[in-house]
Amino acid sequence: MTSQPPSPPEQPAEAVPTCYRHPDRETWVRCQRCDRPICPDCMRDAAVGFQCPECVAEGNRGVRQAQATFGGTVVNTPYVTWALLAINLLVYGAQYLVGTSVTATLAMWPAGVVLGDQYYRLITAAFVHGGVFHILFNSWALFVLGPNLERAFGHVRFIALYLISALGGSTLGLWLDAPNTFTVGASGAIFGLFGAIFVVGRRLNMDVRGIAVLIVINLVITFLPGFNISWTGHVGGLITGSALAAALAYAPRKNRTAMQVAAVVGALVILGALVLLRTMTAVG
């Protein structure tokens, strides 16, 4: 009988790793940063291999996000401008199809605001127009000015600038127009954009002589007899838009967002107070 050498002891089978976030899923892939096993749902592409969600979040922490020139997210497509243009055109289409009832319902009417509490007219008036030339001019101006300002301020700040400029024009009309005057058009908001583009140009040390001449020409046209143009809407929008744009553009970088929010809220409070004061004094 020959003796056989003893057999080596059996090695325990290596356990298959499981995902650290999903223990029921087996995987041989590991995070390149922390070496924890990760399943396909937890894999995030990295420069080499994959990383887990926590390591990706840790790597992104402290990375400065790109912003628009004066705060807000970077604007690749000026969606707010296109939306405003679409609303203006749709409302004008409704005016054309339905008739004067749309205009009468949405136009700025001081007596309706003061006596009927129809405060919505202060804003809705900016979306109705008095004719083809009126809608075409305002739409062209918004098409030219809107994208540049939206990219400078971001979506939210731009829509605030537009609507508050419109409100500023309506507020001056509420104080100075005859009670039974009906006013329509986005001109208050557009003049606010004129003022804003001038302010932005000055802030960025650009040549603003062209926009200054354009503003002066439009103001002269505003006061020419026979044109039936609401000077209160134009002047009120220009003053409001210029002031708000200055507050947004010149806000210190360190506390920019807080200062800009305060500027928007402050503008709304001032205009709201003027509207309420006018309402109370007229009723009294």
Identify the CA nearest to 170 among candidates 210, 135, 121. Answer: 121
Cα–Cα distance measured from residue 270 to residue 250, given in angstroms and rounded to the nearest whole number = 20
Q: Quick check: is 134 catalytic?
A: no
Beta pairing class for 44-45 and 50-51 = antiparallel
Q: Are 181 and 99 in contact (CB under 8 A)?
A: no
Cα–Cα distance measured from residue 63 to residue 215, given in angstroms and rounded to the nearest whole number = 41
Q: Quick check: is 3 catalytic?
A: no
* Residue 277 neighbours by CB distance under 10 Å: 11
Q: Please write down the long-range contacts of 56-65, taking CB distance under 8 Å and 24 or more positions apart.
A: 59/33
Identify the CA nearest to 69 among candidates 226, 262, 206. Answer: 206
Cα–Cα distance measured from residue 283 to residue 208, given in angstroms and rounded to the nearest whole number = 44
Q: How many CA atoms lie within 13 A of 158 on its CB side?
A: 28
* Residues contacting 180, CB < 8 A, separation 6+: 109, 110, 111
Amino acid letter for position 134 = H
Active-site residue, selected from the candidate residues 129, 230, 234, 242: 234
CA–CA distance from 206 to each of 64, 145, 184, 198, 228 (Å)? 27, 15, 33, 9, 34
Active-site residue, selected from the candidate residues 139, 165, 170, 187: 187
- What 3-state DSSP class applies to 44? strand
Cα–Cα distance measured from residue 252 to residue 250, given in angstroms and rounded to the nearest whole number = 6
The set of catalytic residues is: 187, 234
